Amino acid sequence: MYRLCESCLKRLGLQGKPERCELCGDIFKKIDDLLNFTYTAEFSNFNIGIKLDPNVLEKEKKIVEMLNLSGEKTLKRELLSIFRKKLREKLNKEVELEYPDVIFVFDLEKCEVIPESNPLYIKGRYNKYVRYIPQTKWYCRKCRGKGCPYCNFEGKMYETSVEEIVGEVILGYTKAQGEKFHGAGREDIDAKMLGNGRPFVIEIQKSEVRTLNLEKIQNEINKDRRIKVSELEYSNKREVIRLKREKFKKTYLVYLDQEISDEEFAKLKDLCEINQRTPRRVQHRRADKTRIRKVYKVEKKNNNCLKICCESGLYVKELITGDDGRTVPSVSSIVQKDVKCIALDVIKIHDR
């Protein structure tokens, strides 16, 4: 039989004289020392992680089996509850199980504490008033960011992006190490994003600061006239997942390279259900398949411009050209001439 400490005896519901513990290695005596650590980043809640030597877990399992114990109060559970309680008192902060700002991982084998900071999430909407800025940083496709003659040693394909303009300001205020930008879909690089803007969440990694003046940040970002952000608010991981999953209708202004007569326009009521095979221009990065997407409404803004409301995932440029028969029907196939889209603006994301 193993020699056990007072805590382990009590936890397992055993009688006996407390001794140097062969199970936990007298870990309970080291708890106060382990709690004596410093963490300087701002946080308002936390959770605890416990890392135990696998041999200890194995030993515990053996004892429970051998003595036919319930095994309900495991060493790990006991330690979790002690560390949570003691740390809550020490830090005067609440335990948050689902989305804690930080997880303090107590490695009991190495006797050390590793703080794992969770990202800070800020959501908002963005407008993009210029063409040829991508939504996210676009690394050079030849060197993937290192810098090469193809990208003029910039490491990226475009001078800046919505992500970089927003990220630079926020990283300055949070003293964070990095960010990830999540948009509710994305417009083409050469399309403007107008109207009510596009929802996004920016994920700020290893942020030193979590209380921010979001209005000030918003104003500072908006000094850059190429984009505008609005409705900045704190967010969480759940909203990133939702943002990535949800599909929204969109309304576009489509500028055409030639005029559409009223007679031709009248025929466009036949644009309803579109069979669209993956366009050639994105084939190198998207699976080649055919999908059905709906067009909900086509209006004529003027002879060279259509306003089109359609389902998420419809490639609008190809809806105009027909992409050599890969998109059927198309504006070109219906009016029986080769119409091209010379510019595209997203004017509404129908998310609310």
Task: Specify the amino acid at residue 242.
Answer: R
Q: Which residue has the tokens 């800020």?
A: 122
Of 29, 142, 175, 238, the one binding Zn ion (CB under 5 A) is 142
Query: Of 16-35, which residues contact Zn ion (CB under 5 A)?
Result: 21, 23-24
Decide whether 8 or 120 has the Cβ nearer to Zn ion. 8
Question: If we measure between CA atoms, which residue out of 261, 271, 279 comes closest to residue 318?
Answer: 279
The answer to the question of residue 140 lying near Zn ion (CB under 5 A) is: yes
Of 41, 69, 143, 189, the one binding Zn ion (CB under 5 A) is 143
Looking at 188, 324, 338, 345, which residue is catalytic?
Answer: 188
Query: Of 149-188, which residues contact Zn ion (CB under 5 A)?
Result: 150-151
Beta strands of 155-261 (E only): which ranges? 178-183, 192-205, 227-235, 249-256
The answer to the question of residue 8 lying near Zn ion (CB under 5 A) is: yes
Decide whether 7 or 118 has the Cβ nearer to Zn ion. 7
Decide whether 109 or 264 has the Cβ nearer to Zn ion. 109
From CA 27, how far away is CA 86, in angstroms rounded? 15
Question: Does residue 196 contact residue 148 with C-beta atoms inside 8 Å?
Answer: no
Decide whether 5 or 227 has the Cβ nearer to Zn ion. 5
User: Alpha helix locations (H) across the chain?
Assistant: 6-12, 31-34, 54-66, 75-91, 162-174, 214-221, 237-245, 262-267, 316-321, 331-335
Q: Using the Cα atoms of residue 173, residue 179, residue 185 and residue 187 in order, give the sign of their dihedral.
A: positive
How many CA atoms lie within 13 Å of 293's alpha carbon, on the beta-carbon side?
26
- For the question of residue 188 being annotated catalytic, the response is yes
Size of the site for Zn ion (CB under 5 A): 11
Cβ of residue 2: shortest distance to Zn ion, in angstroms?
Answer: 9
Decide whether 53 or 239 has the Cβ nearer to Zn ion. 53
Segment interacting with Zn ion (CB under 5 A) among 15-23, 129-137, 212-220, 264-272: 15-23
Other C-beta atoms within 10 Å of 315: how many? 23
Segment interacting with Zn ion (CB under 5 A) among 148-156, 189-197, 298-306, 335-343: 148-156
Q: Point out which residues bind Zn ion (CB under 5 A).
A: 5, 8, 21, 23-24, 140, 142-143, 148, 150-151
Catalytically annotated residues? 188
